[in-house]
Amino acid sequence: MNTPTVAERLGVSIPQVLSWIRIGFLPEPSVPARGHGSRRVWTEDEFLEASLIPGLKLIMNTDAIRDLMYLRRLRRNDTPT
C-alpha cells in the first residue's frame, strides 16, 4: 500500500506519517520514494508497526517512542532464520 492509504487507515494526515519517518518513529518503507511523483510502498508488517504509533503517543513521550521503535527493529532484525 502507499503512504496515502497508510495515512487513511491510521486516521492521520500524510504529513504526519512522513513526520514519523523523519523523526525516527518509523523506518523508510521497503520501497522508498524515488524522485518527484513516486510513492513509498508499505508492506502489511510496516503498516502494523505504524499502527502502534497513535496509541503510544497517548502514553509515551517522543524520545521514548523513538527508542522503543528502534529497539523493536533491532530485535526483529536479530532473530535467527
Phi, psi angles (nearest 5°) of residue 62: -55, -45
pLDDT per position as a tens digit, 23-60: 888 888 877 777 776 778 888 888 888 888 888 888 98
In CATH, what class is 3-78? mainly alpha
pLDDT-above-90 percentage for the chain: 17
pTM of the model: 0.72
pLDDT of residue 58: 87
List the chain domain ranges.
3-78
pLDDT of residue 80: 47
Q: What is the dihedral of CA 33, 14, 66, 10, to 10 degrees?
A: -120
pLDDT per position as a tens digit, 56-80: 888 988 888 888 888 887 877 754 4
